[in-house]
Chains A and B, each alone.
Chain A
Amino acid sequence: MFDALSDKFSGIFEGLRRRGALSEADVNEALREVRLAMLEADVALPVVKDFIARVRERAVGSEVLDAVSPGQQVAKIVNDALVEALGGAGAVPLNLNAPAPIPILLVGLQGSGKTTTAGKLALRLRTRERRRVLLASLDTQRPAAQLQLAQLAERAEVVSLPIVAGQAPVEIARRAMDVGRREGYDVVLLDTAGRLSIDQALMDEVRAIRAATNPVETLLVVDAMTGQDAVNTARAFHEALGITGVVLTRMDGDARGGAALSMRQVTGAPIKFSGSGEKIDALDEFHPERVAGRILGLGDIVGLVERAAETIDQDEAERLAKKMLKGSFTLEDYAAQLKQIGKMGSLGSIVGMLPGLGHLKQKIEDANLDQTVFKRQQAIISSMTIQERRQPEIIKASRKKRIAAGSGTSVTDVNRLLKQFDDMSTMMKKMGKMGQKGLMRGGLSALMAQAQQGGRGNPRRPF
């Protein structure tokens, strides 16, 4: 989601790297660009100003003068400040440290994705935390909202509170907690109607719900595409309810997601999850350090491997990750991976996690690549000999013709696949090397790769 911001940042810091020592003017110039990039990424203006001020304070002065390369140093300061502003290293889990039934309240604007998130959270709590979940919709505003949650509950295989027509939201909340207590549920997830932060009556209503249920978590659900209004929404909800966590939805879109930073800064509450698709299992933990890595143009390879681990299997995922980082990824692996891709979610969300993504993502979009294309690619690889799959460089004109005929495609398709595979391998090799060389020689990218290695050092087991 932060692609364009990353592109901008890489450009800026390349400029800085080429110069030698940095003057205050240089820092200011770079920061003007950072400011613009952040505004274009929808980070709210006051948050941008504060961020820039902090980075300037750290960048101008001895830190920069003593550094081996000023560009690296500034880049590191920006990265660190970004990670810090997004909440520091590591994901923050849901607080389930309370006597059952634990009430969790979901709030937000209309259309931010609360109900879908409720379904996803229910599934997650049931499968990973092994909790008995009761879902309850307090949305009496939007037509069929309660029915929607009931249907999602079925998909998540959890129980939803029976719908009683005409009951007011506060009453439904009380009933949900009663049922939760009486029937021994671990968690009661309360989905509320979307409301505008300036709608006094509805804000009073959700305050009353909060008072009646005393939730352990009050999660604000926010669309990653949100613009400058993120600060207003965050402040209003936080002041009214005391937000304990944020869920950022539609992270599988191509919005730059500056709202994440705004939300975090205004509420001080951690971003706990991000929604990454329409399927009921498309809810990921939010890792600030990875997202900052993404901002700076490195992709989210840890996230990719993690998602692979959950949908493929652990051994396969580790093998995949190693191969990717070592750059010894063959067409055979690629074909195997293609088969798994359908399971791993949409193509956009996968490509969005690959390092050096801007370039590849564009290419894939240009090629109008979808699942059909993957099937075609699988067919092409199947028509190759084993030797060809392991050493694609031996594939010349006549072999291409044969492969094209065998797979019912054209030589252009074969060429496209080979070129794309070549690009992928190059990028993965680069990524692997940067990790080993370290800060002094590899420049900014190596620096960031190190930060990512930090993330790999203590991998979070999904189960």
Chain B
Amino acid sequence: MAGFFSRLKQGLSRSTQKLTGGLAAITKRRLDDEALEELEETLIAADLGPAVAKRIIANFRRTRFGTEVTDREIRESLATEIATILEPVAQPFRLDPTRKPHVVLVVGVNGTGKTTTIGKLALQFREENKKPVLVAGDTFRAAAVEQLQIWGERTKSPVIAGATNADAAGLAFEALTRAQRDQADVLLIDTAGRLHNKAALMEELRKIIRVLRKQDETAPHSVLLVLDATTGQNAIQQVRVFKEMVDVTGLVVTKLDGSARGGIVVALAEEFGIPVHAVGVGEQAGDLRAFEAVDFARGLVGEPETAPG
């Protein structure tokens, strides 16, 4: 057994070298079947999923097959190919200034970074001289309220919280009433993480929306789904169900500073076309960036991002 594992481990590290340096290995050579297969595997290893990877490579084959290419050229053109899929969804998040407040409901499965994202968004709005109000709608998880309160202190934003296990919908209603009275620009409502296959918990989210609409029938003006970049193919199901249940208007992809490349976003762009507003690249308040299609695509194929400026 030990022999097997050490053998496998060797094999794995070889494969990884091949994947991370995969494109370097086909430097200045004919783009043949083998080379295309390596490219396809690079995409699969970046979580694009086997079907999307296959389709992208099939397109690529049509225009490029048999040509003599350098490493750089091939990365560039593959990134360009992927960027065209991502361009339409790369839409920055914008507040509607006619809304006082613009109501943002933040949803997602457990542990994707909803609360952290709200903290980061609050900072951004503060820097734009807007007045955000945060709502600690995760009344379930231990210390979730305190976590948001600390973000409130850091970003000098008021936090509206209720008791543990309080009704999140009631809290949201109360928060909206107060935010309207105080002429806040944006109301950021945190919610408890929930797995999309739990019907009762999804119903709870719908209830929050129903109750918000009693106060403002146009609310919520945005429903942001926070997605962890390490998530694999299950993200498709996540987005599908959340979209169906609460009409998600945009995505925020978190934890892109890690080794995961978030290739599932390409599959999501193809399947749903939901805007990707921002990406999270760290735990600090400033670590939220706009989603840039070209940079993201370059990251997927292992090409460094374009130099800033």
**A residues whose Cβ falls under 8 Å from a Cβ of B:** 36, 39-42, 44-47, 49-50, 109-113, 115, 119, 141-145, 147-152, 155, 196-198, 223, 225-229, 231-233, 235-236, 250, 252-256, 258-259, 265-266, 268, 278, 346-348, 365, 368-371
Contact = CB atoms under 8 A, between A and B. Distances in A.
Contacts of B195: 250, 252-254, 348
Contact of A112 (B15, B45, B111, B237): B111
Given A143-B151, A250-B110, A278-B140, A39 B50 contact: yes
A46 B12 contact: yes
Contacts of A233: 230, 259
A306 B111 CA distance: 28
Contact of A228 (B47, B146, B151): B47
B143 A370 contact: no
A310 to B, nearest CB: 21
A109 B197 contact: no
A225 B109 contact: yes
Q: Give the size category of B's interface with A.
A: 35 or more
A197 B258 contact: yes
Contact of A226 (B144, B232, B257, B263): B232
Interface in B244-272: 255, 257-261, 263-264
Q: Which of A112, A145, A233, A255 has the most CB of B within 10 A?
A: A255
Interface of B: 5, 8-9, 11-13, 15-16, 19, 41, 44-47, 49-51, 109-113, 116, 140-144, 146-147, 149-151, 195-200, 203, 228, 230-235, 237-238, 255, 257-261, 263-264, 283
Nearest to A115: B142
Given A113-B110, A228-B232, A278-B140, 16 more contacts: A40-B51, A42-B232, A47-B12, A49-B15, A113-B111, A147-B146, A148-B144, A223-B111, A225-B234, A229-B47, A229-B230, A253-B196, A254-B197, A255-B232, A265-B8, A370-B199
Contacts of B255: 109-111, 196
Nearest to A268: B5
A198 B109 contact: no
A227 B232 contact: yes
Question: Which 9 pairs across A and B sit closest by C-beta, in order of nearness?
Answer: A227-B232, A111-B111, A42-B232, A148-B143, A143-B150, A46-B15, A151-B142, A229-B260, A255-B234
A344 to B, nearest CB: 14
B147 A39 contact: no
A148 B142 contact: yes
Contacts of B228: 111, 223, 225
B172 to A, nearest CB: 20
Contact of A111 (B15, B112, B199, B264): B112
Nearest to B229: A229
A45 B232 contact: no
A155 B259 contact: no
Contacts of B257: 196
16 contacts: A39-B44, A50-B12, A143-B151, A144-B143, A144-B149, A150-B143, A151-B143, A155-B142, A223-B230, A225-B238, A228-B47, A228-B232, A228-B263, A236-B259, A255-B233, A348-B197
Contacts of B9: 266, 268
A141 B284 CA distance: 10
Q: Which of B49, B141, B198, B203 has the most CB of A within 10 A?
A: B198
